[in-house]
Chain A
Amino acid sequence: MSGPSTYNPSTGIEKWLDDRLPIIRLGYDSFVDFPTPRNLNYWWTFGGILAVFLMIQIVSGIVLAMHYVAHEDYAFESVQRITRDVPFGWLIQSMHANGASFFFVAVYLHMFRGLYYGSYKAPREVLWILGVVIYLLMMATGFMGYVLPWGQMSYWGAMVITNLIGALPFIGDALREWLWGGFSVGQSTLNRFFSLHYLLPFVIAAVVGLHIWALHVPGNGNPVGLETRKGKDNKKDTLPFHPYYTVKDGFAIIVYLMVFAVFVFFLPTVLGHADNYIEADPLVTPAHIVPEWYYLPFYAILRAITFDIGPIDAKLGGVLAMFGAIGILFVLPWLDTSKVRSMRYRPLTRWFFIFFVVAALGLGWCGAVNPDDFVLGITGFKFLYLGQFLTFYYFAYFIIVLPVMGIIEKPKERPASIEAAVLGSDKA
């Protein structure tokens, strides 16, 4: 897609097709001869891993839908039946449930890669924004998928999240009832969540197509953050995607699938919650409602706002902060004022980034526990306070650190080109 096509149809059939639908040319130019920076490290393999996991989720999900019953009286039982009675149901259900977790692990690493190496900066803003859209769609899909087994955590997770909508002024109550299709989370809610859970992965696949399109216009970023040179020097900075990166991505995919297999076969329920093996009961709330692990940092941000901010009460404030934590990613390309992409050459910001990762993990910890418990047993130091501090840092990283550091920080000297970085010392 970038640069002239190098595809040469070699057979009569290929030539005939190329004049009518140049689909082989598209594949060749995108995944065979695509010029890719020669210095990509393993952090760049998560895009391919994510594509594989989207396929795993879609294929295993289509199969599960053949056996699942989206009814409040049968949903729980039908999932148990899948894992016990349906041939290989135990395998496919485990792949789907654990696949969601591995999908999110990969997407978080992919996003941290983008944050560290400045992948969101010009000319890749649209590429980044499409990525955030995919992430949001994944969150919605994952949330609705978790409701389907209709266990206690499914039900009460859905109750808590849909009640957040009720915090919106004026329209909150009507909107919540519209989402539920009733007066509470119930049959209508389950049925429509199933429908949407089936739909959204295909929407994700479509946006992934746009994401790759937007990637192939400027080409990949890379660890040193320099653009590949144009013209005859381009060959010195790049390698063809195949075989160099098909092999590198393939190796990473195999390693990642091996770890996945350990969970699917030996730890199939370890990422789940014991309470979800109790069928949903609208009259009994579990003692401690927690979302799936991949939402925990945002759950912690939601709970960190325990005070009113002007006319915004604490409940609405928490909801706004939670959505704002993702929403701010959309404007990130314009918040970071530095022209230097890679954190390798940003000695101060690099430390702020490292602490940002720590803060994100710390927020996950805060989200998993009771906010009134004490951190490490230190009397008085509630998880709530830790969560509030880390929430502050999360937003400060985007609103204060990145805009200011771009102005005051003196970046390290960068190599002259990707070629120089690979052949000489990239510490330059």
Chain B
Amino acid sequence: MTEENGAPGADGQEPSRRDFIYIAAGGAAAVGGGLVAWPFIDQMNPAADTLALGSIRVDVSVVAVGSEVTVMWRGGPVFIRHRTEEEIAEAQSVELDALPDEEARNDNLPTGTPGTDANRVLRPEFLIVKGNCTHLGCVPLGLGANTGDYDGWYCPCHGSHYDTSARIRRGPAPENLPVPDYFFETETTVKIGLSPEEASNSGWAVS
């Protein structure tokens, strides 16, 4: 600013030191206001302890073929289904362009990965997905209640049908049920909340 002193201002008068003080004080107030506001906004984001409750361990040996369990992770449900050969075959046979959402929605893989069944599981027999409908967050019904028209899950709130790879097939839900970060710690133990890559980087045994 000071270098401009001497150049005529818009009204033909030279900017005075008072103009400089106005602008500098106004600018400092705006920046200061922003700096003060940010902590008051950011405090509402998930706290450190909430973030630290990031992972759980699940013994999947108790889940028999053709059954499923729902476990609680990060305050919400996660579905673990031990799929039958038919369910796997059904999921694998679906063409990509038959899917309303063609993305894998798998946190272990980069975004934009195509949503084939192979990209939705680590091991074909175990399908592990977050259990909140991508429409408005209801918990879809599954085996033993209502598997919908595609043998996967059916959301009773607004009628979304998911297939045996938990991909949306019909109804208002815009996206496939997301696959959380997880890895197999042993043959029968799943750790949900860390991807295989993150796990091996942090020294976990990855089966």
Binding site for B on A (CB under 8 A): 156, 159-160, 162-164, 177-186, 188, 192, 282-285, 287-289, 303, 306, 313-315, 371-372
Candidates B75, B135, B138, B156; contact of A186 at CB < 8 Å: B75
Candidates A162, A163, A182, A314; contact of B75 at CB < 8 Å: A182
B136 touches A163 (CB 8 A): yes
The 8 A-B residue pairs with the shortest CB-CB distance, nearest first, are A184-B75, A183-B74, A163-B137, A184-B76, A285-B138, A186-B75, A159-B137, A160-B136
Candidates B137, B139, B156; contact of A283 at CB < 8 Å: B139
A181 touches B158 (CB 8 A): no
Is B159 interfacial (CB 8 A cutoff)?
yes
Is B27 interfacial (CB 8 A cutoff)?
no
Closest residue of B by beta carbon distance from A303? B158
B174 touches A285 (CB 8 A): no
Q: Known contacts A156-B138, A185-B75, A282-B139; can you find 17 more A-B pairs with CB under 8 A?
A: A159-B136, A159-B138, A160-B138, A163-B136, A179-B44, A181-B44, A182-B46, A182-B75, A186-B75, A188-B46, A188-B50, A282-B76, A283-B70, A283-B77, A285-B138, A289-B157, A372-B159
Is B202 interfacial (CB 8 A cutoff)?
no
- B51-76: which have CB < 8 Å to A? 70, 72, 74-76
B139 touches A284 (CB 8 A): yes
- B160-207: which have CB < 8 Å to A? 172, 174
How distant is A59 from chain B, measured CB to nearest CB, in Å?
Answer: 29
Is B37 interfacial (CB 8 A cutoff)?
no
Q: Taking A160-B137, A303-B158 as contacts, is the C-beta distance between A282 and B75 under 8 angstroms?
A: yes
- Taking CB atoms, residues of chain B closer than 8 Å to A188 are 46-47, 50
- Cα separation A287 to B154 with both chains bound (whole Å): 12
- Taking CB atoms, residues of chain B closer than 8 Å to A177 are 45-46
B156 touches A287 (CB 8 A): yes
- Taking CB atoms, residues of chain B closer than 8 Å to A371 are 158
**What's the interface size class on B, roughly?**
20 to 34
Closest residue of B by beta carbon distance from A318? B172
- Taking CB atoms, residues of chain B closer than 8 Å to A192 are 44
Q: Taking A282-B77, A285-B138, A289-B138 as contacts, is the C-beta distance between A178 and B44 under 8 angstroms?
A: yes
How distant is B121 from chain A, measured CB to nearest CB, in Å?
Answer: 22
- Cα separation A177 to B132 with both chains bound (whole Å): 14
- Cα separation A66 to B131 with both chains bound (whole Å): 37
What are 7 pairs between A and B in contact, CB < 8 Å? A159-B132, A160-B138, A163-B137, A177-B46, A180-B46, A182-B50, A287-B156
- Taking CB atoms, residues of chain A closer than 8 Å to B158 are 303, 371
How distant is B124 from chain A, measured CB to nearest CB, in Å?
Answer: 26
A315 touches B172 (CB 8 A): yes
- Taking CB atoms, residues of chain A closer than 8 Å to B77 are 282-283
Query: Mask for B124-138, Cβ within 8 A of A = 1, else 0?
Result: 000000011001111
- Taking CB atoms, residues of chain B closer than 8 Å to A314 are 172, 174
B74 touches A182 (CB 8 A): yes
B46, B47, B131, B159, most chain A CB atoms within 10 A: B46
B172 touches A164 (CB 8 A): no
How distant is A302 from chain B, measured CB to nearest CB, in Å?
Answer: 9
Query: Mask for B17-51, Cβ within 8 A of A = 1, else 0?
Result: 00000000000000000000000000011110010
Candidates B45, B46, B75, B157; contact of A285 at CB < 8 Å: B157
- Taking CB atoms, residues of chain A closer than 8 Å to B44 are 178-179, 181, 192
Candidates A162, A181, A287, A303; contact of B50 at CB < 8 Å: A181
A183 touches B46 (CB 8 A): yes
B74 touches A184 (CB 8 A): yes
- Taking CB atoms, residues of chain A closer than 8 Å to B76 are 183-184, 282
How distant is B158 from chain A, measured CB to nearest CB, in Å?
Answer: 7
Closest residue of A by beta carbon distance from B78? A283
- Taking CB atoms, residues of chain B closer than 8 Å to A283 are 70, 72, 77, 131, 139
Candidates B45, B47, B72; contact of A282 at CB < 8 Å: B72
Closest residue of A by beta carbon distance from B75? A184
- Taking CB atoms, residues of chain B closer than 8 Å to A284 are 139
Closest residue of A by beta carbon distance from B139? A285
- Taking CB atoms, residues of chain A closer than 8 Å to B50 are 181-183, 188
- Cα separation A182 to B50 with both chains bound (whole Å): 6
Closest residue of B by beta carbon distance from A72? B75
- Cα separation A192 to B40 with both chains bound (whole Å): 13
- Taking CB atoms, residues of chain B closer than 8 Å to A184 are 74-76, 132
Query: Mask for B75-101, Cβ within 8 A of A = 1, else 0?
Result: 111000000000000000000000000
- Cα separation A113 to B131 with both chains bound (whole Å): 46
- Taking CB atoms, residues of chain A closer than 8 Å to B174 are 313-315
Closest residue of B by beta carbon distance from A177? B46
